[in-house]
Structure 1
Amino acid sequence: MRNKEAVKKLLGLLKDYRKIIALIIACLLISTGLNMCIPLLNRGIMDYGFIGGDKELLIKQVICSLLIYMIIAVIDIIKEKKRVDISANIQYSLSEQSFKHLMKIKADYFTNRNYAEILNNINVDIGNMTSIADEGVFFVVTQAFSMVGGIIGLFILDYRMTLMVLLFIPVKAVIMKHFAKKRKRIMDEFITESEKYAGWFGDTVGGVREVKLFGILENKRAEFADRQLSVINKQKKMNMLAQWNGITDNIIVHLLTSLIYIIGANLVFDMQLSVGSVFAFITYSAYVTGPISAILNIGYLLSGIIPSTKRYYEFMALEEEKGNEESMTEPCFGDLELQNLSFSYEKDKAVLSDVNISFPKGSKTVLIGRNGSGKSTLISLLLQLYQPTSGKITLCGTDISELVLKDYRNMVSVVSQDIYLFNSSIRDNICMYKDIDDKFIMEACKDSGLADFISGVSLDYVVGQNGAMLSGGQKQKIALARALVHNSPVIIFDEATSNTDVYSEHQINGLLHTKLKEKTVIIITHKQEILKEADYRNMVSVVSQDIYLFNSSIRDNICMYKDIDDKFIMEACKDSGLADFISGVSLDYVVGQNGAMLSGGQKQKIALARALVHNSPVIIFDEATSNTDVYSEHQINGLLHTKLKEKTVIIITHKQEILKEADQIIMLKDGAVVGSGVYDDLSKDNLEFKNMLNMGEKY
């Protein structure tokens, strides 16, 4: 976007307020006209009052001046109220437009951006753009009239000194243009550095758990100092430039005033000019030089607004999801088909290639495959979060891209391993702004295995930011309850039981034969049960189901600011099952915001590789294979007898295979230990443990 287009966009923000702007300008014109009278009154006070000794005239003109100032004050209050209203309305309008657009932007926009970065960019841009309604901008409109009146007043008093004043105008113009050009360059740099800092800040706060666990606070503090100082230095430059701009303007004005005093004094001594006329001349000269400064400063002001305007409208021009046009077809429940479907996130790196799958109406289909094989990507395509590179997806024979998007998505419910919960009540997170009776909500909670938890709290229990007050299993149960109450004809389970206990898992699997019997169900899983149905911290490494990855390379996320040779990194990648993926990309592959470019299993393998290269004596696995495929799971379990043989390993799991490898099993229920020992002893003697094992292979 060119500067002229940006200015046109800015002026377009004011077009809905033409009547109010006309009133503001009228107020400014009246104020200007009244102000033009002040120098003449002051001249009379000086020449005829003080020097001429006319006391009565002096008092009258002083009172007259006071009344004019009071009228100007009232007009300014009216004008300022209207201006503030315009500014507030523009700010709200821009914020509303950007929010609505943000909610409709295609999903790939969020891959390498975090919420802090997005929020910072929008707020900074809107704040700068709103300044188009600042007092100074409107004031400039009336300055032309003030300047004309001032020049007339100057010529009336003395044409010789008037020419001297006019000679200062081009000097000021050159200086102001220089400052405006310099400010635009610094503002561009400031916006870029602020955007980088906001992205880094959001990335770091999102990974605060990893910062603590790997003891990299000092590294992050060094990064903070580098990035924040860069922003502050640009801000300092802008502030100093503003000071230089103001100081230069004041010097020019004072230089002009000094010359007027000297030349005016000579004219007074020669009886060619009165003392009052000299003071009036100084005031009128300010009416000329002041507007010139204001008019030239518009360029200086716009140099700070235009970069934000460009970025804002570039953001607003980003492509939105399509599918809500009137010409779209209403969806109907039927067979879902993938026809010659291909997709890639990056050019020449296909994730899916010529995929043909049919999901008959009411069928139960399980998708299995290695991590990174494209299972979750396929689900994203079904939800129209991304569009196929080639091929199509049809529902009842109609390409889903031709269906009304909102209605189509209402037909599909997703129970995901990565469910997001809003910082509100359990009820709100289940209902999702729909009016649903508590009776049906509780029925869904019972079916999802959430009822016991609800009985201990309530539906009004606030879950915290992204369900921070809940366990991973409880979050997934809320996702299932949400799907059940919305009664969508198509249900997608994306590792939906990866964090649930064995009782809840059986309960959920049983729904396939009851509540979900008539639904089309698509399941992504590694679990055999469902397949049958269709400092001190430096000594500890954690491999978690909730690993956070920084928006950097695979190497950086494994090394965590430590200098580790690629030979050892690749050895750890081989042991963690990540080597095949690395061979297709590289260690320099940027994983995206919190690993957005990776599957859940690939993220967990990076966590394991990280633990292996750091060689900590204590390793904690927190559901560390919940998202990995069966091949990788066996490979990881084998490490317990090799690379991890001499380590202290603590494992949190529901999986029976891992239990058999443990030197000691501690069984928890309701916050209490209900059994401890080795697998063989517990499976014989502990009733609670046997009950859990008898209910399925996974624990």
Structure 2
Amino acid sequence: MASPLFRLFRYARPHRGKIAWAMFCSFTNKICDIAPEVLIGVAVDVVVRGEKSYLGQMGFTAAFDQMALLGILTFLIWGGESLFEYLYETAWRNLAQTIQHELRLDAYAHAQTLDMAYFEDRSTGTLTSIMNDDVNQLERFLDRGANQIIQVTTAFLGVGAIFFALQPTIALLSLIPVPIIIAGSFYFQTKAEPLYADVRERAGAIAGRLAGNLAGIAVIKSYTAEALEVKKLAEESDGYRAANGRAIRISSAFIPLIRMAILAGFLVTLVYGGYLTLSGQLAVGAYSVMVFLTQRLLWPMTELAQVFDLYQRAMASTRRVLDLLDTPASEKTAGQAFDRAACKGAIHFDNVSFAYAGRERVVTEVSATIPAGTTAAFIGTTGSGKSTLAKLLMRFYHPSHGRIMLDGQDIAGLSVSDLRSSIGFVSQDVFLFDGTIAENIAYGRPGAAAEDVERAAKLAEAHEFITGLPDGYGTAVGERGQKLSGGQRQRISLARAILKDAPILILDEATSAVDNDTEAAIQRSLETVGVGRTVLVIAHRLTTIRNADQVFTIESGRITSVMSRAEWAAQADAQV
């Protein structure tokens, strides 16, 4: 696989113009940065040699003219350095923010095209860490590290050219440390890359544990497991600290290597260059330029250790983000258009079988026909496969065998968005977003009129409790709706599905965790909203399915019986 840096450049291809401009600003700023050392040498040459100086040979023989020219050049160079520093700062930072923004959005958008199985195999914390922490790590590198790499490279090439022009022998000797530094960089990069990859993985594990613990804080408190969870987090955090320590030991060893190489190069210029100057083989001005430029070139290389550390962290993060983007989209979003307005809601399961990855079948050769506009109930024990059928109908998963037909069309060939827009879904595990009640009800129809939201709430028998709240429909529900009771959340979830006004409605154990009053309210709502649409009720509480036109009993993933409403009513009466 290509290196993370190459993959990043390939990803950032639309911003090539901005990258080129930022690189030009960094390059020009560094040229202006090393130019004052050259002017110092020229000034020394003017003082020592007078009319025979470099400027004198260019026609500026008067001392005032020479110093005036040096003053003008110094002003222009310092002004140019300041200008291009501002330009490269804004260019790199804006570029970093733009790429960060686009990469995060692309990663999130791509993640939504992946099957539910992908999310079941990965923790929420890990994915959050990739889309947030890893993207931020890349932004920090682009914000600072990229400019430093360009400037060090520019300084090396520019100073090297000046050295060879002034004294090739000293140039060769003083620049000997540079290949050592570069070779050391590659060596440490090879050693550090897997270490920083481990650091990012452990950071994701910590994020996952924190996210899980905060979501389950009520359970932790109820079992007085606070100390246990602190201990577990301490183990995760200590592993992260140890991984960072291993990476730090490698990156820290880089600084002494650079310092000793720098010292060798500086001593060559200082001692050997001084000897040549004293023996008349090198002009004093040239010697001054070389001494100052040696420091200007080599000492900034001490910062390479920090840049190297930043680079390795960024590349480890980049690999994780781009690996997510390169994960093949398992959910086929494109397909034949399906007109929701024309959907009748006739559903047919044709010999459907399904197994979750690495597990035995949970649905086996299921065949069932649900006529349009009718209510079908699926009952059975926990784990019998009832909810899996609903997930297959919504194409959260794909059947291992068989097919599912909607109005005579195989749903595997339909557009996912068109299919799901035709289905309203109410689950047992209600999820409300951190916003107002009105925003959560209107989630399936953004921009819905307030009267439509209120009407849906009334049909779900939620209007009364909503208006009893201090802020009514503007009440904030909190994260995951934690400010509301379970029954209130369930009624809002039903109102959300009602407002969507889809031709098919699925209730997946929607009343299993609510009180009798809420269950009765949902039943009354279904009698109204179920008219003219196909309703699938998945339940194990028999009271929930009293109005079903068909009742399918599922055991171990197979349909063992099918009863009409009359047959089911007769059996229920006999049991009573």
TM-score by length of 2: 0.84
Per-residue CA distance 1:318-346 (angstroms, 9 max, x = gap): 34364542644445223201111111113
Question: What amino acid does structure 2 have at the position aligned with 1:381?
Answer: L
Question: What amino acid does structure 2 have at the position aligned with 1:91?
Answer: Q
Q: How does 1:31-110 map to 2 (within 5 A)?
A: 31-35=29-33, 37-49=35-47, 56=64, 57=66, 61=70, 64-110=73-119
**How many residues are aligned here?**
536
Deviation at 1:293, TM superposition (A): 8.2
8 Å CA contact 1:177–1:299 kept in 2: the answer is no
Give me the whole-angstrom Cα distance separating, in 2, the residues matched to 1:305 and 1:507: 54
Deviation at 1:82, TM superposition (A): 1.8
Instruction: Please state whether the residue corresponding to 2:356 is helix, strand or coil.
Output: strand
8 Å CA contact 2:459–2:528 kept in 1: the answer is no
Give me the whole-angstrom Cα distance separating, in 2, the residues matched to 1:478 and 1:208: 24
Give me the whole-angstrom Cα distance separating, in 2, the residues matched to 1:32 and 1:467: 55
**Which of 500, 520, 528 lines up with 1:506 in the alignment?**
520
Per-residue CA distance 1:140-167 (angstroms, 9 max, x = gap): 4576665444233223433332221233
Deviation at 1:351, TM superposition (A): 0.4
Residue in 1 aligned with 2:462?
450
Residue in 1 aligned with 2:319?
310
Deviation at 1:71, TM superposition (A): 2.0
Give me the whole-angstrom Cα distance separating, in 2, the residues matched to 1:411 and 1:187: 46
Structure 1 residues 420 and 102: alpha-carbon distance in aligned structure 2, compared to 1, 3 A threshold: same
Would you say 1:264 and 2:278 are equivalent positions? no
- 187-196 or 497-506, larger mean C-alpha shift: 497-506
Give me the whole-angstrom Cα distance separating, in 1, the residues matched to 2:535 and 2:223: 41
Give me the whole-angstrom Cα distance separating, in 2, the residues matched to 1:476 and 1:262: 83
Would you say 1:441 and 2:450 are equivalent positions? no
Per-residue CA distance 1:530-569 (angstroms, 9 max, x = gap): 34333xxxxxxxxxxxxxxxxxxxxxxxxxxxxxxxxxxx
8 Å CA contact 2:129–2:207 kept in 1: the answer is yes
Deviation at 1:477, TM superposition (A): 0.9
Deviation at 1:448, TM superposition (A): 2.0
- 51-60 or 305-314, larger mean C-alpha shift: 51-60
Q: How does 1:14-25 map to 2 (within 5 A)?
A: 14-25=12-23
Residue in 1 aligned with 2:487?
473
Per-residue CA distance 1:428-485 (angstroms, 9 max, x = gap): 1111143333333333323322232023121111111111111111111112222222
Residue in 2 aligned with 1:356?
367
Residue in 1 aligned with 2:9?
11
Per-residue CA distance 1:248-270 (angstroms, 9 max, x = gap): 32332123212322223333333
Deviation at 1:189, TM superposition (A): 1.6
Give me the whole-angstrom Cα distance separating, in 1, the residues matched to 2:521 and 2:186: 73
Give me the whole-angstrom Cα distance separating, in 1, the residues matched to 2:147 and 2:92: 9
Residue in 2 aligned with 1:427?
438
Residue in 1 aligned with 2:567?
none
**Which of 176, 179, 183 lines up with 2:185 in the alignment?**
176
Give me the whole-angstrom Cα distance separating, in 2, the residues matched to 1:320 and 1:156: 57
8 Å CA contact 2:176–2:265 kept in 1: the answer is no
Deviation at 1:286, TM superposition (A): 4.7
**Which of 321, 333, 339 lines up with 2:344 in the alignment?**
333
- For structure 1, the 5+ residue unaligned runs are 535-580, 585-696
- 328-337 or 423-432, larger mean C-alpha shift: 328-337
Structure 1 residues 63 and 435: alpha-carbon distance in aligned structure 2, compared to 1, 3 A threshold: closer
Give me the whole-angstrom Cα distance separating, in 2, the residues matched to 1:298 and 1:505: 61
Instruction: Please state whether the residue corresponding to 2:253 is helix, strand or coil.
Output: helix
Residue in 2 aligned with 1:679?
none
Deviation at 1:390, TM superposition (A): 0.9
Instruction: Please state whether the residue corresponding to 2:361 is helix, strand or coil.
Output: strand
Instruction: Please state whether the residue corresponding to 1:228 is helix, strand or coil.
Output: helix
Per-residue CA distance 1:48-89 (angstroms, 9 max, x = gap): 437979985557635643442222111221232122221111
Give me the whole-angstrom Cα distance separating, in 2, the residues matched to 1:430 and 1:137: 47
Give me the whole-angstrom Cα distance separating, in 2, the residues matched to 1:142 and 1:12: 22
Structure 1 residues 362 and 329: alpha-carbon distance in aligned structure 2, compared to 1, 3 A threshold: closer
Deviation at 1:110, TM superposition (A): 1.9
Deviation at 1:352, TM superposition (A): 0.6
Deviation at 1:299, TM superposition (A): 7.5
Structure 1 residues 290 and 426: alpha-carbon distance in aligned structure 2, compared to 1, 3 A threshold: same
Deviation at 1:349, TM superposition (A): 0.4
Higher share of residues assigned helix: 2
Give me the whole-angstrom Cα distance separating, in 1, the residues matched to 2:241 and 2:38: 48
Residue in 1 aligned with 2:393?
382
Give me the whole-angstrom Cα distance separating, in 2, the residues matched to 1:326 and 1:527: 37
Give me the whole-angstrom Cα distance separating, in 2, the residues matched to 1:14 and 1:296: 26
8 Å CA contact 2:192–2:312 kept in 1: the answer is yes
Residue in 2 aligned with 1:493?
507
Residue in 2 aligned with 1:570?
none
Per-residue CA distance 1:334-377 (angstroms, 9 max, x = gap): 32011111111134501010011111111121111111101111
8 Å CA contact 1:511–1:517 kept in 2: the answer is no
Structure 1 residues 30 and 438: alpha-carbon distance in aligned structure 2, compared to 1, 3 A threshold: closer
Deviation at 1:183, TM superposition (A): 1.9
Give me the whole-angstrom Cα distance separating, in 2, the residues matched to 1:408 and 1:161: 74
Instruction: Please state whether the residue corresponding to 1:394 is helix, strand or coil.
Output: strand
Instruction: Please state whether the residue corresponding to 1:514 is helix, strand or coil.
Output: helix
Q: How does 1:552-567 map to 2 (within 5 A)?
A: none
Would you say 1:320 and 2:300 are equivalent positions? no
Instruction: Please state whether the residue corresponding to 2:362 is helix, strand or coil.
Output: strand
Give me the whole-angstrom Cα distance separating, in 2, the residues matched to 1:50 and 1:214: 85
- For structure 2, the 5+ residue unaligned runs are 52-61, 549-554, 557-574
Deviation at 1:240, TM superposition (A): 4.6
Per-residue CA distance 1:185-230 (angstroms, 9 max, x = gap): 2212212221222222222222222222222222222222211022
Per-residue CA distance 1:404-438 (angstroms, 9 max, x = gap): 22122122112221111111111111111433333
Instruction: Please state whether the residue corresponding to 1:353 is helix, strand or coil.
Output: strand
RCO greater where, 1 or 2, for CA within 8 Å and sep 6 or more?
Answer: 2
Give me the whole-angstrom Cα distance separating, in 2, the residues matched to 1:335 and 1:381: 15
Give me the whole-angstrom Cα distance separating, in 1, the residues matched to 2:69 and 2:123: 67
**Which of 254, 258, 262 lines up with 2:263 in the alignment?**
254
Question: What amino acid does structure 1 have at the position aligned with 2:536?
Answer: I
Percent identity between matched residues is 23
Give me the whole-angstrom Cα distance separating, in 2, the residues matched to 1:232 and 1:196: 13
Structure 1 residues 197 and 25: alpha-carbon distance in aligned structure 2, compared to 1, 3 A threshold: closer
Give me the whole-angstrom Cα distance separating, in 1, the residues matched to 2:100 and 2:517: 52
Structure 1 residues 503 and 126: alpha-carbon distance in aligned structure 2, compared to 1, 3 A threshold: closer
Question: What amino acid does structure 1 have at the position aligned with 2:388?
Answer: T
8 Å CA contact 2:174–2:268 kept in 1: the answer is no
Give me the whole-angstrom Cα distance separating, in 2, the residues matched to 1:397 and 1:86: 51
Give me the whole-angstrom Cα distance separating, in 2, the residues matched to 1:257 and 1:163: 12
- 286-295 or 172-181, larger mean C-alpha shift: 286-295
Give me the whole-angstrom Cα distance separating, in 1, the residues matched to 2:45 and 2:525: 100
Give me the whole-angstrom Cα distance separating, in 2, the residues matched to 1:372 and 1:330: 34
8 Å CA contact 2:347–2:370 kept in 1: the answer is yes
Question: What amino acid does structure 2 have at the position aligned with 1:384?
Answer: R
TM-score by length of 1: 0.70
Structure 1 residues 260 and 223: alpha-carbon distance in aligned structure 2, compared to 1, 3 A threshold: same
Question: What amino acid does structure 1 have at the position aligned with 2:441?
Answer: I
Instruction: Please state whether the residue corresponding to 2:433 is helix, strand or coil.
Output: coil
